Amino acid sequence: MKYQKLLLSVWFIVLMFSCRTAGKPGARLSRAEFIDSFKTISFCRCVELANNKKLDLADDDVSCRPPDWLYSEGDAIDSLVLREVKKIRLDSLDRAQYQVAEGMDGKHVISSCLTFYNSQALETSARRRAKFLGY
């Protein structure tokens, strides 16, 4: 019985300590968390900018709101995304030349942004930013 109480109290202390440090602003972010957030915000910005800012995903979806520590990366994300948006616009202009099935003309924003999200170029950029910032 003593050992169970001791084990329970040690477990409780460890749990309390981990809860106290996990949510603190000064807690160190992992490299994988940084890369994942960088890529997610890049995807959201891609969808927003490719739709000429008609959608505000940050209002509709919490995962598209950049965390405080990612605000400084806004310019880096936007420069990557703007290159991709130019490709999407060129692709939609290119499609206008060809006869396509009814309803399939126009921009393919979501599929293009998903391809961008899964691209090696975005992964490499996110890793480089993480390394540059010391993650």
How confident is the model over 65-87, as pLDDT tens digits? 888 888 888 889 999 999 999 88
* Within a domain: 75: yes
State which residues form the domain around 127: 26-132
Domain at 108, CATH number: 1.20.120
pLDDT band per the 50, 70, 90 thresholds, residue 2: low
Looking at residue 7, its pLDDT comes to 45
Looking at the domain assignment, is residue 113 inside a domain?
Answer: yes
For residue 120, is it within any domain? yes
More confident call, 91 vs 20: 91
Q: Which burial class, exposed, middle or buried, applies to 84 when counting CB atoms under 10 A from its CB (0-12, 13-18, 19+)?
A: buried
d(CA 47, CA 92) in angstroms, rounded, equals 14
pLDDT in tens, 85-129: 988 888 765 555 555 555 555 567 888 899 999 999 999 999 999
- Quick check: 6 pLDDT over 60? no
Residue 97 backbone class (left: φ over 0; alpha: ψ -120 to 50; beta: rest): alpha
19 occurs within a structural domain: no
Residue 3: inside a domain: no
Predicted local distance difference test score (pLDDT) of residue 87: 87
Domain membership of residue 31 (yes or no) is yes
For residue 17, tell me if it sits in a domain.
no
Could you give the percent of the chain with pLDDT greater than 90?
30
Tell me the C-alpha distance between 41 and 70, whole Å: 9
pLDDT for 107 equals: 65
Whether the pTM exceeds 0.85: the reply is: no
Plot region of 103 (φ>0 → left; ψ -120 to 50 → alpha; else → beta): left
Domain count of the fold of the chain: 1
Mean pLDDT on 8-25:
47
Assess if residue 20 is contained within a domain: no
